[in-house]
């Protein structure tokens, strides 16, 4: 190595650091967490606390095994952010054992198998989400029914999240009443039964209201990140815009099996994902043009998977698929933009 060194202290007043970036992301998540707590009960808090706790412990263990300094990677809060994102993506009813598996996948398969922070080609939280979704489809598509929520106490939730382990959910018929499928899962069920869904959709828009509030809270958090320049505008804007445009075109010229734009945008993980998942700098494209291509790709894939694919909400898969394309996008942009 040469002996030139940039004396950064001479020229920068406030030193940017990874910790600070991550802390801002955590702050931006708060409104969304509060909204989810209001909508789905204490399960979401349990998820966040549990996931973060185990993720940090596991991360430290891995760092010790890999003979890395705990001060560098251990304290940069990136693992806390990733674990929180996973905890917010999964249902609040998810049994602890399943969440633990998700955290294991996140830290080991999502991150450290590739060499740790900054080396992973795929968004670790989404890798864990996909693994959970494929492995435990029953518990991953089940949410508390908001209308029954008043009867669910913290104790009940804890009981559900621990006792159900080792048993099939269908053995707990009592829980059947207070749990239900997510709105998008429900929509898909309707579509497959080939019933006319327009009436259902009209009713559903009303029952959608709480979900719109959750999405709006995540939106506020995303705007905060934009304001603090933690994320750039290209990815969230293009994700949402491309999804909205395709939905609009399809709703106008296509069949009536697609709900209106408002419903489309504010249901599922779209807003949350556009601001918090797709913008993960490690796995997103680098250049401005690259980020636009990347975001557009995610929006289109999310639309295709949601309305034509095998899963009710394909945001995680859309992100993972576009993660795969990132090196190609970066290279192509570089080649095209330079003389």
| Binding-site ranges for other proteins (CB under 8 A) | 1-13, 15-18, 20-21, 69, 71-73, 76, 78, 97, 101, 109, 113, 116-119, 131, 134-138, 141-142, 165-170, 173, 176, 181, 189, 192-194, 232, 281-284, 286-287, 310, 330, 334, 336-339
Question: 104 vs 261, which CB is nearer to other proteins?
Answer: 104
Least Cα distance to 73 among 29, 124, 18 occurs for 18
52 is written with which tokens? 């973060």
83 is written with which tokens? 């674990």
Write down the least CB distance from residue 131 to other proteins, Å: 5
Write down the least CB distance from residue 60 to other proteins, Å: 16
Question: 70 vs 209, which CB is nearer to other proteins?
Answer: 70
Question: 12 vs 159, which CB is nearer to other proteins?
Answer: 12
Question: 173 vs 203, which CB is nearer to other proteins?
Answer: 173
Write down the least CB distance from residue 249 to other proteins, Å: 27
Least Cα distance to 118 among 14, 9, 22 occurs for 22
Write down the least CB distance from residue 39 to other proteins, Å: 21
Write down the least CB distance from residue 270 to other proteins, Å: 22
Write down the least CB distance from residue 21 to other proteins, Å: 6
Question: 267 vs 291, which CB is nearer to other proteins?
Answer: 291
Question: 69 vs 252, which CB is nearer to other proteins?
Answer: 69
Residue with tokens 């518990």: 139
Write down the least CB distance from residue 237 to other proteins, Å: 16
> Rounded CA gap, 326 and 293, in Å?
9
Write down the least CB distance from residue 244 to other proteins, Å: 25
How many other CB atoms are there within 10 angstroms of residue 158's CB atom? 14
* Contact by Cβ (8 Å): 265, 236: no
Question: 136 vs 272, which CB is nearer to other proteins?
Answer: 136
39 is written with which tokens? 């909508």
Question: 195 vs 249, which CB is nearer to other proteins?
Answer: 195
Q: How many residues make up the chain in this entry?
A: 339
Write down the least CB distance from residue 1 to other proteins, Å: 6
Question: 193 vs 203, which CB is nearer to other proteins?
Answer: 193
């Amino acid at each position: 190595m040469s002996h030139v060194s940039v004396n950064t202290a001479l020229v920068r007043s406030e030193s940017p650091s990874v910790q600070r970036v991550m802390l801002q992301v955590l702050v931006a998540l708060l409104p969304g967490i509060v909204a989810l707590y209001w909508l789905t009960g204490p399960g979401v808090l349990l998820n966040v606390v549990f996931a973060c706790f185990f993720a940090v412990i596991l991360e430290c263990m891995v760092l010790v095994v890999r003979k890395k300094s705990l001060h560098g990677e251990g304290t940069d809060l990136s693992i806390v952010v990733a674990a929180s994102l996973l905890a917010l993506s999964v249902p609040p009813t998810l049994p602890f054992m399943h969440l633990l598996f998700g955290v294991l996948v996140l830290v080991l398969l999502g991150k450290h198998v590739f060499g740790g922070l900054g080396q992973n080609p795929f968004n670790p939280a989404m890798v864990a989400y996909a693994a959970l979704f494929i492995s435990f489809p029953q518990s991953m598509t089940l949410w508390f029914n908001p209308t029954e929520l008043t009867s669910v106490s913290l104790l009940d939730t804890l009981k559900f999240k621990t006792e159900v382990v080792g048993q099939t959910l269908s053995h707990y018929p009592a829980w059947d009443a207070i749990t239900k499928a997510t709105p998008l899962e429900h929509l898909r069920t309707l579509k497959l039964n080939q019933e006319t869904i327009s009436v259902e959709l009209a009713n559903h828009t009303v029952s959608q209201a709480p979900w719109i509030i959750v999405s709006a809270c995540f939106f506020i958090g995303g705007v905060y990140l934009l304001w603090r320049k933690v994320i750039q505008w290209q990815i969230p804007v293009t994700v949402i815009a491309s999804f909205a445009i395709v939905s609009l075109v399809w709703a106008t010229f296509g069949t009536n099996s697609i709900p209106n734009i408002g419903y489309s945008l504010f249901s599922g993980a779209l807003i949350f994902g556009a601001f918090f998942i797709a913008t993960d700098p490690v796995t997103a494209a680098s250049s401005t043009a690259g980020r636009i291509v990347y975001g557009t790709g995610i929006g289109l894939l999310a639309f295709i998977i949601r309305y034509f694919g095998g899963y009710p909400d394909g945001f995680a898969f859309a992100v993972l698929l576009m993660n795969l394309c990132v090196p190609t996008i970066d290279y192509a942009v570089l080649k095209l933009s330079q003389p």
